[in-house]
Amino acid sequence: MARQGLKSPQESMADLSPVENLRIPSKEELRELREQPIDPQAEQEIIDSIEEVYFSNDSFDMVQHELEKLPPELNLQELEEYRDKLKRQQAAVSKKVADLILEKQPAYVKELERVTALQTNLQLAAVICTNARRQLSVAKEGFTEASLGLLANQRRRHLLTGLLKSLRTIKTLVKLTHMEEDYPGAIQLCLECQKASTSRLIETIIPLFLFFPPFPLTLALFPSLSSAYFWLQEQLDVALSKTCKHFDVSHYTKVQLAYTLLGKTQTAMDQLHMHFTQAIHNTVFQVVLGYVELCAGNADTKFQKMQYKDLCTHITLDSYIPCLTDLCKALWEVMLSYHRTMQWHEEHDKQETTPTPGKGFTCSLAVDRSYVKKKLEHGLTRIWQDVQLKVKAYILGTDMSNFKYDDFIVVLDVISRLMQVGEEFCGSKSEVLQESIKRQSVNYFKNYHRARLEELRMFLENETWELCPVKSNFNIAQLHEFKFMGQCRSPSVSPSRQAVSSTSPAQEELSLFQQYQREGNPFEMHMEHKEEETEDVLASNGYESDELEKSVYQDYDSDSDVPEELKQDYVDEQTGDAPLKSVPRETMRSKKKSDYNLNKTNAPILTNTTLNVIRLVGKYMQMMNILKPIAFDVIHCVSQLFDYYLYAVYTFFGRNDMYESSGLGLISSRLRTTLNRIQESLIDMTSTHPTNAGVHGPAEDRKEKVPSPHLSQLVVLTNSGTLYGLAQRVVATESLVFLAEQFESLQSHLDTMMPAAKKPFLQQFYSQTVSTASELRKPIYWIVAAKAIDYEQMLLMMAGVKWDIREIMSQHNVYVDVLLKEFEQFNKRLGEVSRHVRIPLPVSNVLWEHCIRLANRTLVEGYANVKKCSNEGRALMQLDFQQFLMKLEKLTDLRPIPDKEFVETYIKAYYLTENDMEQFIKNHREYSMKQLANLVNVCLGSHINKKARQKLLAAIDDIDRPKR
**Chain CA centroid to CA 548, Å:** 46
Tally the C-alpha atoms within 13 A of residue 859's C-alpha that lie toward its C-beta: 31
Q: Say how far apart CA 417 and CA 492 lie, in whole Å.
A: 7
Q: Say how far apart CA 960 and CA 921 lie, in whole Å.
A: 11
**Coil, helix or strand at residue 26:** coil
Q: Where are the alpha helices (DSSP H) in 522-563?
A: 525-529, 546-550, 552-557
Nearest residue to 405 (alpha-carbon basis) of 610, 615, 619: 619
Q: What angle do CA 410, 414, 417 make, to 5 degrees?
A: 135
Q: Say how far apart CA 513 and CA 421 lie, in whole Å.
A: 8
pLDDT at 797: 92
868, 803 contact by CB (below 8 A): yes
Strand partners, 683: 706
For the chain, list residues with pLDDT below 50.
1-22, 177-178, 197-221, 352-353, 356-360, 489-508, 526-532, 541-595, 598-600, 689-696, 961-964
**Coil, helix or strand at residue 707:** strand
Query: Which helix (H) or strand (E) is 863 found in, with range?
Result: helix 841-864
| DSSP assignment of 919-931 | HHHHH-TTS-HHH
Q: Say how far apart CA 202 and CA 185 lie, in whole Å.
A: 19
Strand partners, 596: 839
493, 512 contact by CB (below 8 A): no
pTM: 0.64
Query: Phi first, then psi: what are they for 583, rounded to 5°?
Result: -85, 135
CB atoms within 10 A of CB 47: 16
**Coil, helix or strand at residue 355:** coil
Query: Phi first, then psi: what are they for 310, rounded to 5°?
Result: -70, -35
pLDDT at 217: 42
Q: Say how far apart CA 284 and CA 279 lie, in whole Å.
A: 9
Query: Phi first, then psi: what are they for 470, rounded to 5°?
Result: -115, 165
327, 391 contact by CB (below 8 A): yes
Query: How many residues belong to the chain?
Result: 964
Q: Say how far apart CA 349 and CA 433 lie, in whole Å.
A: 34
pLDDT at 659: 52
Which residue type occupies 417? Answer: R
Which residue type occupies 625? Answer: N
DSSP 263: T
pLDDT at 495: 37
Q: Say how far apart CA 695 and CA 906 lie, in whole Å.
A: 56
Q: Say how far apart CA 956 and CA 376 lie, in whole Å.
A: 90
Crossing angle of helices 631-649 and 759-768, rounded to 10°:
10
Nearest residue to 777 (alpha-carbon basis) of 605, 901, 581: 605
Q: For 121-166, how does the pLDDT look when each residue is reduced to its tens digit (9 = 90+)?
A: 999 999 999 998 888 877 776 665 667 777 788 888 888 877 776 6
